[in-house]
Structure 1
Amino acid sequence: MKKYFSLFFIILFFIPLSYSQSDFIEPDYIKTIIFKSTATNNYAPIIRLGEKLILSFDDLNADEHNYTYKIEHCTLDWEVSNLSEFEFINGFAEDRIRDFENSFNTLQPYTNYTLTIPNETTKIKISGNYILSVINEDSEIIFKRKFVVYEPKVTVGVSIYKSRDIATINTKQSVEFIINHPNYNINNPSLEIIPVILQNNNWQTAIIGLKPQFYRGTQLLYKYNKETSFWGGNEFLFFDSKSIRNSTLNIAKVELGKELYHTYLYTNEGRIGKPYTLFPDINGNFIIRTLDGNNSNIDADYSWVHFSLESFENLEGKDIYISGNYNNWQLNNTNKLHHNTETGLYETTILLKQGFYNYLYATKTKNGIISNHDIDGSYFQTENDYTVLVYYKKFGDRYTKVIGIGYGNSEKINN
């Protein structure tokens, strides 16, 4: 019988990361940035080496501007690495975006740009972290997006558990995982293997740097609880504006303004302290779609979406934001709510393309601490996606590889 062997002199080094996927705010005229795998129902820019990513975005200036893209290889902490381009790219790391088309029969004119990677001129050679930048004719960076390329050298088994801490047993979820490497030699796992855990593909709450607790043959076991705990949060709120002229579920009314339609959502109430209610979501993601055309990229229109929140929680010193993957989980003035003294509600208005959107209300303190449960509460039953990325840097290597990936979902949570 195989036995577990504990690492007695292990030094635990885990860091809950807190950074957004973009270091600056995109210009107001750049909207609906979609960057994801081409695989069905995969909303994250994480691909196996050789698979494809697709980038799509709109320019509201609608002037068929010439944009270029640039790909940079990065270190584990997302700094540009010292590798030369020919070491990680076959072809060119920088090239024009040639596929673009103007919107058709929309009140808001725009030019839609699309890019697939790899393509005829750009092919990625190695795994790791990457940054894709879109640059205008004046050599200014318009926006950046991170993406990860992995090679399947190891397999990862992921399980989700209720917290074993009595204080958070009903509010947190813990991730346990096993890295299997029967055909891949790892000399010093505690130093060479760096796992990263993501909840709903949101890098703001990522956990990095856990050491294996046990060895079992060619398996590395990570049986942490507190160190791998995430707030369960609540199911995402949603609306669907695929029919831009009509009110639908969660949309109270639609009005045509001077230039664009205005979509008014029903007022949301804070859900903290209320019983947990299950309803399906897509874990913070969004899908562009319209009933008024065949090609949503250019047929979907824009409307001003009005959000309102009724909350009686003490939020002194905290700002409230509409959070979701629709804007890469960024919290900035574009999606910040403001208190309306006349209605007593927190309100904001965001210009969004037609589609199905998940969102939640997040708070941020003056010190930058982000919470997804101050307003909507946190429940261990909440359905969340979890991803474990396995980074590997052998002693003497010049860059960090990504050698495996594992997925888990809290829908089947273990006690």
Structure 2
Amino acid sequence: MNQRYNTEYYLNFQRLPLHIEGARYHYTGAFPNKNVTFPFSGKWKFYVVDSYDPATVFAEGNFYVVYPEIKPITVLHKERFQGNEPDIPALARTISINTEFRIPDSLYPSEIMGVEIIENRKIGYPVIIDPAHTNDERFYEWNGNNEFKFIARNIRPGNEYRQTDLRDYNIYNAKEVYAQYDGIETSDFFHKRKKDLNGGSILTNYKSDYAEYLYVTFRIRPPEDIQAPVYLTGAFNNWRVLPEYEMYDDNGLLYLTLELKRGIYDYQYVTAYDITQPDWYILEGNFWETVNEYHIFIYYKSPEYGSYHKIIGYNKIISVNYE
């Protein structure tokens, strides 16, 4: 798709200070531009490749393009877990997300494909409400004409993320450092943390003499009853739970070392026997007071471009706005 306008060939790199180790150049780009355009809304991927060998991929990522055709209204409700409550009372704190919208006469109700909800930046772990596969937690209502309401229940708000702040050279003045300068981390299941970056990061300016990369070791000693493997995830890996981020075990002290540029990073620990179904809460806690951003995308089956699922509506809501 879009073969003539899908590649930025001439990248304007900025040189980092000569003594910086771990990187030499910085690039910032804004799209669309004259070389790269997005002719339709939906999910897109980008790749950073070798200009001489495009099969060599240095980095890749996902993003959304939205050309809205409707204006959804989304509200959040604070509630207890619907169904059989969990054994741990704190895990019964949940919210529901209700999204209502009206489609124009030019669209067909039968082609509404559903709603996708992304919490903060966890693109790989969406909440999906599919009209073809509903249950007591994910369902929708239709008035038989052009009005829809999609409901997702039993969504746990979790906790504010952990943070490491590597910017202070007086504290982090060695090449190898610990993520938490003042000690080893433990479970925060009962500890409400301070406001975070909603899964984001703030990197040291590339012009700074301290815009260097460090080897950062994350350490946690989880409770003894935690038997599942523990993984590190955060802004540094786009919130993916991956095999290479499984923590090493040194007699109950779990650790993992990453190479990170100086800056602030949100992160957390998850447990998982199956990385496609991680437990985000057992080491981190679950509080109604947690402030999250929820991104709501509404999909429609379009006959254009040979038929695809385009995004016809988008909304963002912050979880302090309960009704």
Q: How would you bin the TM-score normalised by the shorter chain?
A: 0.7 to 0.9
The equivalent residue for 1:270 is 187
| 1:98 Cα deviation after fit | 1.6
The equivalent residue for 2:137 is none
Q: Tell whether the 8 Å contact from 2:121 to 2:200 is kept in structure 1 after alignment.
A: no
SS of corresponding position for 1:393: strand
Check if 1:180 corresponds to 2:180: no
Q: Tell whether the 8 Å contact from 1:385 to 1:408 is kept in structure 2 after alignment.
A: yes
CA–CA separation in structure 2 for the residues paired with 1:203 and 1:327: 12
Check if 1:411 corresponds to 2:302: no
Q: Tell whether the 8 Å contact from 1:233 to 1:382 is kept in structure 2 after alignment.
A: yes
Check if 1:339 corresponds to 2:249: yes
Check if 1:100 corresponds to 2:16: no
Q: 1:3-55 deviations in whole A, cap 9, x for unaligned?
A: xxxxxxxxxxxxxxxxxxxxxxxxxxxxxxxxxxxxxxxxxxxxxxxxxxxxx
Q: Tell whether the 8 Å contact from 1:192 to 1:394 is kept in structure 2 after alignment.
A: no
Q: 1:335-382 deviations in whole A, cap 9, x for unaligned?
A: 3321222xx421122111111111111122146421111211222332
Given candidates 123, 136, 145, the residue that maps to 2:37 is 123
Matches within 5 A, 1:268-347: 268-272=185-189, 274=190, 276-289=191-204, 295=207, 300-316=211-227, 318-341=228-251, 344-347=252-255
Give the share of equivalent positions with the same residue, in percent.
20
Q: Structure 2 vs 1, CA of residues 334 and 105 (structure 1 numbering), >3 Å: closer, same or farther?
A: farther
| 1:277 Cα deviation after fit | 2.1
| 1:387 Cα deviation after fit | 0.9
SS of corresponding position for 2:236: helix
CA–CA separation in structure 1 for the residues paired with 2:33 and 2:303: 33
Q: Structure 2 vs 1, CA of residues 99 and 364 (structure 1 numbering), >3 Å: closer, same or farther?
A: farther
CA–CA separation in structure 2 for the residues paired with 1:125 and 1:205: 26
Given candidates 141, 148, 151, the residue that maps to 1:220 is 148
Q: Structure 2 vs 1, CA of residues 407 and 154 (structure 1 numbering), >3 Å: closer, same or farther?
A: same
| 1:103 Cα deviation after fit | 1.7
| 1:408 Cα deviation after fit | 1.5
| 1:216 Cα deviation after fit | 8.6
Letter in 2 for 1:185: S
SS of corresponding position for 2:13: strand
Q: Tell whether the 8 Å contact from 2:121 to 2:238 is kept in structure 1 after alignment.
A: no
Letter in 2 for 1:94: T
SS of corresponding position for 2:64: strand
Q: Structure 2 vs 1, CA of residues 235 and 410 (structure 1 numbering), >3 Å: closer, same or farther?
A: same
The equivalent residue for 2:134 is none
Given candidates 328, 351, 357, the residue that maps to 2:259 is 351
| 1:328 Cα deviation after fit | 1.1
Matches within 5 A, 1:70-109: 84-85=1-2, 91-109=4-22
Structure 2 residues not aligned, in runs of 5+: 132-139
TM-score for the superposition, normalised by structure 1:
0.66
Q: 1:174-227 deviations in whole A, cap 9, x for unaligned?
A: 21111233x4533224x43421111113123212243331339753112453xx
CA–CA separation in structure 1 for the residues paired with 2:246 and 2:152: 36
| 1:405 Cα deviation after fit | 0.3
CA–CA separation in structure 1 for the residues paired with 2:301 and 2:109: 10
Structure 1 residues not aligned, in runs of 5+: 1-83, 248-253
CA–CA separation in structure 1 for the residues paired with 2:20 and 2:278: 36
| 1:312 Cα deviation after fit | 1.0
Check if 1:246 corresponds to 2:156: no
Q: Tell whether the 8 Å contact from 2:212 to 2:262 is kept in structure 1 after alignment.
A: yes
Check if 1:204 corresponds to 2:124: yes
Q: Tell whether the 8 Å contact from 1:335 to 1:350 is kept in structure 2 after alignment.
A: no
CA RMSD of aligned residues (A): 2.6
CA–CA separation in structure 2 for the residues paired with 1:138 and 1:151: 33
Q: Structure 2 vs 1, CA of residues 264 and 329 (structure 1 numbering), >3 Å: closer, same or farther?
A: closer
